[in-house]
Amino acid sequence: MTTELHDIAHKMVADGKGILAADESSGTIKKRFDTINVESTEDNRRDYREMLFRADDAMKNCISGVILFDETLRQKAADGTPLVQLISDAGAVPGIKVDQGAKDMVGRPGEKNTEGLDGLGARMAEYHALGARFAKWRSVITIADDGRPSWSCIKANAHGLARYAVICQANGIVPIVEPEVLMDGPDAKHDIDSCYRVTEWALKTLYDELYEANVDLEGTILKPNMIVPGQHSGTSASVDEVAEKTVKCLKACVPSAVPGIAFLSGGQSDELATAHLSAMNATYDMPWKLTFSYGRALQAAALKAWSGKTENVAAGQQAFTHRAKMNGLAAMGTYKADLEKAA
């Protein structure tokens, strides 16, 4: 099983490919559909995701894996084909979001701890039987002037990620560990250096916990935030500065045994998330693959182009394919902003 986990992890960070995060919860997908005035019914959710998974050029050439929500893992396309089969047939690895959301920490106002460990082993076994070969668990960390994050928050979330990861591997599933330092912290002091400090703290604690839990790092993928200033800080950073600080932080924290790092976009614009990733790959030598695991940054243009209309499926697929290709280039360090004109 160890070799199989290693093989899956390496496939997930194949050259020029990245991961499509299509694991929006029912509440999140409703918010996305509200922006295009489409009702969030089971059939509409299926049709939207089927549109993405049948975009052959993108799926076969740019997407290495797809993170699914529980509903989607069980759904069938309009013609009766399981959606998970569409993903596998395209050569991508099907995955599943398994956490049950970030909940308020008792005694720690404004901080969250991710839940979902209860019964996770049984759910993992079922998900493996349904075709999932990797999973995702997200924890969230907020920077604020009132002292957040606390050590309790950092420690609790790192411990939860480690427990989840070892349960994944015991069931033949590669864990994506996602400790996200949110970029929408409420205060002006959340500048790029604060992001660096807290991200370094979170990552070092995470890898201590993974070691203590006896997690096989070669069978894992890290999904971190980039080192960027907070949205409310009133500051900005160049593409080169984000790339330099992000790589420096990762080199200080992430063991070389990890096969790859798949960034979340975390509220960045589509093109900026792509530019940051490309700058890292073009400029620095690193012991791991750097790629993307984007949700909104891959889907926003496709969702708008589709707008819930059958006659717009081709346009939606074209928009998705363009973003997938741009990020595939970024994963190789060859993205150029003028390529966006092809959209």
- Residue numbers in the chain where pLDDT is lower than 70: 1, 185-189, 342-343
204, amino acid identity = K
Whole-number pLDDT of residue 253: 98
Look at residue 154 and give its three-state secondary structure: helix
Contact 292, 19 (CB under 8 A): yes
SS3 breakdown of the chain: % helix, strand, coil, rounded to 5? Answer: 50, 15, 35
Whole-number pLDDT of residue 114: 97
Burial 224-233 (b: 16+ CB within 10 A, else e): bbbbbbbeeb
* Pairing of β 102-104 and β 112-114: antiparallel
Nearest one of 161, 254, 213, 215 to 5, comparing CA atoms = 215
Q: Where are the domains of the chain?
A: 2-342
| CA distance linking residue 6 with residue 11, whole number of Å | 9
Whole-number pLDDT of residue 343: 53
Active-site positions?
A: 178, 223
Burial of 141 (0-12, 13-18, 19+ CB in 10 A): buried
CATH topology of domain 2-342: TIM Barrel (3.20.20)
> Considering the entire predicted model, what is its pTM?
0.96
Whole-number pLDDT of residue 185: 67
